[in-house]
């Protein structure tokens, strides 16, 4: 994968447990973005256990072991 050319921010960590039904994303510029999982129907279909098996790709993308779709940091920011 390659980085998004017009995006300077990356994903440092994700959390699906502190806020029920929400994705908490820790960004490289220090911001924390919290968005409802319902904005991402494919992620919402995953079980709580499946949501724990995520990975960050190239600092700007994330996906899950049980999901073929790849999400970008820009997906979190434009919600």
In this prediction, residue 79 carries a pLDDT of 58
In this prediction, residue 47 carries a pLDDT of 93
Structural contact between residues 72 and 6, judged by C-beta atoms closer than 8 angstroms: no
* Residue-by-residue pLDDT tens, the chain, 79 positions: 566 666 788 999 999 989 999 999 999 999 999 999 999 999 999 998 999 999 999 999 999 999 999 999 999 988 5
Handedness of CA 30, 34, 19, 45 (dihedral sign): negative
Please give the tally of structural domains in the chain. 1
Beta-bridge partners for 63: 55
Note the pTM of the prediction, 2 decimals: 0.87
Would residue 33 count as lying in a domain?
yes
CATH no. for residue 54?
A: 3.30.2020
Structural contact between residues 26 and 6, judged by C-beta atoms closer than 8 angstroms: no
| Residue 34 lies in domain | 11-77
Structural contact between residues 11 and 27, judged by C-beta atoms closer than 8 angstroms: yes
In this prediction, residue 74 carries a pLDDT of 92
Question: Phi and psi at residue 48, in whole multiples of 5°?
Answer: -60, -40
What three-state secondary structure class fits 46? Answer: coil
């Amino acid at each position: 994968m390659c980085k998004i050319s017009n995006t300077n921010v990356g994903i440092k960590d994700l959390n699906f447990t502190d806020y029920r039904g929400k994705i908490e994303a820790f960004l490289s510029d220090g911001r924390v973005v919290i968005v409802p999982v319902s904005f991402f129907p494919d992620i919402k279909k995953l079980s709580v256990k499946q949501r724990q098996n995520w990975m960050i790709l190239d600092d700007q993308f994330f996906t899950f072991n049980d999901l073929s779709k790849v999400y970008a940091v820009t997906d979190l920011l434009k919600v």
